[in-house]
């Protein structure tokens, strides 16, 4: 039974995990309370995090809020380096991650809008290629692990740019193979098994390389790339098990 539960947690797509999450977080977080690890998002200590992902990463998924290593890293970045928790901001969160959604929705400084094609957490049903918003509307846009799934990622980036206010910023994280110079993309690769083999997941349409930053720039953004783990102390990185290899891309509208 326990193995079956762990199998579900590791293999289910995240949008399905969302549906089961209330059961997960209520039951498992009680049994795993502890001091060894700490999730900054749900502000809870645990004896360990769950394993997660196709490569079964140890100590990855928070039992309390379902955050992963990259979510906890981004949380620290937003807290320490931006005005996100302080200023009055109009925020668009595409494909909202549940761990963030629960917290952002309660923040009184945010006017918080969520959007997606399918997510049960999204209040606006939308296609990122053509969003139902006027120009220059949002201070901040999040679209994490979205662009590797969409047909025309540069068009989607341009849409995000369009709806941002001048001076606004977006966080558009994607999986990147940093050993690769150029993004691998082929419209003829349509079978899930081939996409999994070439692009890393059955529903990914490309595998980004180090030229990801150039794609963002081609959509108009001024981009900063930060290896933010390097700016945190080692004890924090270990205790909250942050994604050390993750580069955070901050895409600003000029
Ligand atoms: Zn958590």
Q: Measured in angstroms, how far is the CA atom of residue 72 from the centroid of ligand 1?
A: 8
pLDDT at residue 55, rounded to an integer: 79
The domain ranges of the chain are 2-67, 71-252
Who surrounds ion ligand 1 at CB < 5 A?
Answer: 39, 41-42, 62, 64-65, 67
Mean pLDDT value across the chain: 91
168: pLDDT strictly greater than 80 = yes
Nearest to 64 by CA among 35, 31, 97, 94: 31
pLDDT at residue 235, rounded to an integer: 97
Q: Measured in angstroms, how far is the CA atom of residue 41 from the centroid of ligand 1?
A: 5
Tell me what the mean pLDDT of segment 127-147 comes to: 98
Tell me what the mean pLDDT of segment 49-76 comes to: 92
Q: Measured in angstroms, how far is the CA atom of residue 138 from the centroid of ligand 1?
A: 27
Instruction: State the CATH class of domain 71-252.
Output: alpha beta
Which has the higher per-residue pLDDT, 30 or 120? 120
Q: Measured in angstroms, how far is the CA atom of residue 204 from the centroid of ligand 1?
A: 26
For 248, the 3-state DSSP assignment is strand
The DSSP secondary structure of 98-162, one letter per residue, reads HHHHHHHTT-TTEEEEEEESS-TT-SEE-BTTB-SS-TT-EEEEEETT-GGGSS-HHHHHHHHHH
Q: Measured in angstroms, how far is the CA atom of residue 140 from the centroid of ligand 1?
A: 23
The DSSP secondary structure of 31-92, one letter per residue, reads HTEEEEEEETTTTEEES-PEEETTTTEEEEE-TTT---HHHHHHHHHHHHHSSTTTS-EEEE
Q: Is 48 exposed, middle or buried (0-12, 13-18, 19+ CB in 10 A)?
A: middle
Convert the pLDDT of each residue in 195-233 to its tens digit: 999 999 999 999 999 999 999 999 999 999 999 999 999
Which pLDDT band, with edges at 50, 70 and 90, does 2 fall under? very low
């Amino acid at each position: 039974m326990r193995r079956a539960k762990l199998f579900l947690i590791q293999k289910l797509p995240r949008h399905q995990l969302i549906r089961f999450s209330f059961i997960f977080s209520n039951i498992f977080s009680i049994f795993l309370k502890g001091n060894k690890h700490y999730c900054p998002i749900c502000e809870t200590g645990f004896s360990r995090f769950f394993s997660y992902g196709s490569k079964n990463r140890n100590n990855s998924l928070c039992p309390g809020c379902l955050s992963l290593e990259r979510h906890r890293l981004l949380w620290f970045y937003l807290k320490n380096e931006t005005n996100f928790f302080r200023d009055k901001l109009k925020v668009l969160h595409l494909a909202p991650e549940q761990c963030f959604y629960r917290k952002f929705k309660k923040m009184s400084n945010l006017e918080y809008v969520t959007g997606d094609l399918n997510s049960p957490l999204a209040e606006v049903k939308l296609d990122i290629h053509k969003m139902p918003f006027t120009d220059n509307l949002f201070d901040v846009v999040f679209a994490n692990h979205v662009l590797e799934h969409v047909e025309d990622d540069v068009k989607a980036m341009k849409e995000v740019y369009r709806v941002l206010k001048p001076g606004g910023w977006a966080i558009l994280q994607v999986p990147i193979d940093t050993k690769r110079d150029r993004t691998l993309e082929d419209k003829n690769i349509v079978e899930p098994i081939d996409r999994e083999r070439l692009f890393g997941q059955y529903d990914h349409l490309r595998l980004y390389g180090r030229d990801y930053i150039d794609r963002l720039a081609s959509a108009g953004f001024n981009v900063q790339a930060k290896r933010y783990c390097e700016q945190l102390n080692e004890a924090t990185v270990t205790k909250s098990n942050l994604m050390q290899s993750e580069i955070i891309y901050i895409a600003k509208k000029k």
